[in-house]
Amino acid sequence: MTDASPAEASSAGAASTALAPTDAPADEATQRLAAAIDLQTVRVVHAIAAHGSLTAAAAALGYSQPAVSQQVRRFQERTGVALVERAGRGIRLTESGRVIARHARAVTTSLEAAAGELAELKGLRAGRLRLVAFPSASPTLVPELIASLGARHPGVAITFVEAEPPEAVEAVRENRADLAITFSYPGDRDDPHRASARGLAVRAFGDEPIRLVLPAGHPLAGLDDVPLERLADDPWIAGCPRCRGHLLELAAAAGFAPRIAFETDNFVAVEGMVAQGLGVALLPALALRATPRHPGVVVRPTAREDVRSLHLVTAKGAERVPAVAAALRALEALDPGGRAAAAVGSIDDDV
């Protein structure tokens, strides 16, 4: 029967049934089989199909020959489906084996695509970082972070939204942001990192000095550091609403209640007002670092070296998210509190 007339007799309906795509909701037998198919079997069968023998497949996979042999045998044992049959001193795939080999490509391709995307994320050639930070970080820390991160990992898409600490923390909690840069005052009554940050990961990010901003001609402008109580009678310009709380606290600690003449959350405006002699102000170092010093003001540390604490807030476990991890590393590399750069008198020497 080499090339003799093949008297073929096909039973009725064979092709139609055999070729019908299985879009029916997997019957029980299918499900049992699907559960029995493990990736190792798929890989092994794929290798066998590609290389033609168990030995060659084993070599290609970096396994020993018996390992492959057993893998195949186990599948047969637990499913009753033979994948190979002996052919001379070698083997060949059965119909079932070829079925698996055929689908193996699709599976491994999908998995490799997934692995590729993961590698992109892990290698930070992809991924995203949704950043939230308080206003005075916007012109300082945030651009520095974005520059540093963008240079090292051009594939990471960074988005930034400005928000005060409570809203920033909430954004992380609600998964609208991956990383929040926040601050808190030592005795903050409603420190968002106390109540509302539970369930989140909060990292200390150093302390940011609080500076006194005085008109250039102020009587105390000559002092190296200024005791707050000596400004008890000066009019005050309060910064952002939250900063105002801090001012009240520091003043109380110094034994007086500040007379707040003006209020604005625009720290550039604060400087302008101080320069005009409308009052004195407390500003965090970062806010001062954002712009060149106004010629009409002088900046002095407070005698107590008051600070506010910076924090990095993420979801718990998010430190393992590559983009977040990279951002955290980049932030640590920055000068967190801005002490060095913001040291009095050397404010302008930007990095």
C-beta separation of 174 from 323 below 8 A: no
Measured between alpha carbons, how far is residue 324 from residues 35, 130, 177 in Å? Answer: 36, 9, 11
> Per CB under 7 A, which region of 53-61, 112-120, 306-314, 342-350 contacts DNA?
53-61
Q: Of these, 32, 105, 259, 316, which contacts DNA (CB under 7 A)? A: 316
User: Residue 3 interacts with a copy of itself (CB under 8 A)?
Assistant: no
- Residue 195 as a binder of a copy of itself (CB under 8 A): the answer is no
Of 27 and 38, the one with the shorter C-beta distance to DNA is 38
Min separation Cβ 113 and a copy of itself, Å: 6
Q: Between 11 and 86, whose beta carbon lies closer to DNA?
A: 86
Which residue in 13, 21, 80, 199 binds DNA (CB under 7 A)?
199
Among 55, 68, 74, 121, binds a copy of itself (CB under 8 A): 121
Show the tokens assigned to 105: 């490509």
Least distance in Å: CB of 87 to DNA? 8
Contact 200, 173 (CB under 8 A): yes
Residue 234 per-residue DSSP state = S
Give the CA distances from residue 229 to residues 199, 232, 253, 257, 279, in Å, rounded to whole numbers and listed in that order. Answer: 40, 5, 9, 10, 15
Of 163-171, 205-213, 230-238, 298-306, the segment contacting a copy of itself by CB under 8 A is 163-171
In the complex with a copy of itself, the residue whose CB is nearer, 122 or 293, is 122
Burial tier of 154 (Cβ tally within 10 Å: 0-12, 13-18, 19+):
exposed
With 0-12 CB in 10 A as exposed, 13-18 as middle and 19+ as buried, what is 145? buried
2 is a contact residue toward a copy of itself (CB under 8 A): yes
| CA atoms within 13 Å, Cβ hemisphere of 132 | 24
Furthest-apart CA atoms within the chain: distance in Å = 116
111 is a contact residue toward a copy of itself (CB under 8 A)? yes
Among 46, 47, 49, 53, binds DNA (CB under 7 A): 53
Min separation Cβ 96 and DNA, Å: 15
Interface residue with a copy of itself, options 171, 181, 254, 281 (CB under 8 A): 171
Q: Contacts with DNA: how many residues (CB under 7 A)? A: 31
What is the distance between the terminal CA atoms of the chain, rounded to a whole angstrom? 86
User: What token pair was written down for 255?
Assistant: 């034994």
Least distance (Å) between residue 36 CB and DNA = 10
CB of 3 to a copy of itself, least distance (A): 11
Query: CB 212 → a copy of itself: shortest distance, Å?
Result: 30
Ramachandran class of 144: left when φ > 0, alpha when ψ lies in -120 to 50, beta otherwise:
alpha
Pairing outcome for strands 280-284 and 200-215: antiparallel
**Does 266 contact a copy of itself by CB under 8 A?**
no
63 vs 236, beta carbon nearer DNA: 63
Range 65-94, binding DNA (CB under 7 A): 65-67, 69-74, 78, 84, 86, 88-91
Shortest reach from residue 331's CB to a copy of itself, in Å: 15
The structure tokens 């979801």 sit at 315
Instruction: Please list the residues that pair with 309 across neighbouring strands.
Output: 184, 207
Within its chain, how far is the Cα of 82 from the centroid? 47
**Footprint on this chain of DNA (rule: CB under 7 A):** 38, 40, 53-56, 58, 62-67, 69-74, 78, 84, 86, 88-91, 173, 198-199, 316-317
